[in-house]
Amino acid sequence: MQRIPGLCALLGLLLASTSVVADNAADEHLYYSMVPGHYALIGQAPDGGAAYSGSAEITFSNGALTLVKTINGQTTTAIGKVARATMAEADMLAFSWPGHGATCLVRGDLDNYSRLSCYWTRNGVDHQQPGLEAYFPTATWPANRDR
């Protein structure tokens, strides 16, 4: 009968360690491994502004996403994280740059790479229409297969 207290202690330790592993796994959202990569992007400035195109790279490090995009030779960097949309109760990405921010929906394409569709606005501006951006993965494009 002395085996039972030892067995209970071992079982308790096992359950405690399992919950720690589960908590750590819950900290990393699927999007953090799903969205990093190279993208082509198209967009339109807020309030019916000019259309534009460019390229982007998303990386994940130290619990945050970094989005580096280049449009017309100008490169900007944003920090992103997974956020929960209040009304829709859905996960999304929230990126912030100096002076503006974006919210993006993430969906898979036909090759199981991520596509992002985003609204963006300038901080402190009451836009009639948000800016729009769409990000298309380029990993399967022939020019990029050797990357």
Query: Quick check: 9 pLDDT over 50?
Result: no
- Rounded to 5°, angle at Cα 56 from 132 and 92: 55
Label the pairing between strands 114-122 and 100-108.
Answer: antiparallel
Question: How is domain 31-144 classified at the CATH fold level?
Answer: Lipocalin (2.40.128)
Alpha helices in the chain (DSSP H): 3-27, 31-34
Q: What is the pLDDT of residues 92-105, one digit of tens each?
A: 999 999 999 999 99
What's this model's pTM, rounded to 2 decimal places?
Answer: 0.78
DSSP codes, 46-57: TTT--EEEEEEE
Name the percent of the chain in helix, strand, coil, to the closest 5. 20, 50, 30
What count of other Cβ atoms lies within 10 Å of the Cβ of residue 67? 26
What is residue 142's predicted lDDT score, i.e. its pLDDT? 87
Q: How far is CA 87 from CA 91, 118, 127, 141, in A?
A: 11, 17, 21, 36
- pLDDT tens across 17-61, in order? 333 433 444 468 999 999 999 999 999 999 999 999 999 999 999
Distance (Å, rounded) from C-alpha 39 to C-alpha 87? 29
- How far is the C-alpha of 79 from the C-alpha of 23, rounded, in Å? 24
69 has pLDDT over 90: yes
Report the C-alpha gap between 3 and 1 in whole angstroms.
5
Would you kindly state where each structural domain of the chain is located, as residue ranges? 31-144
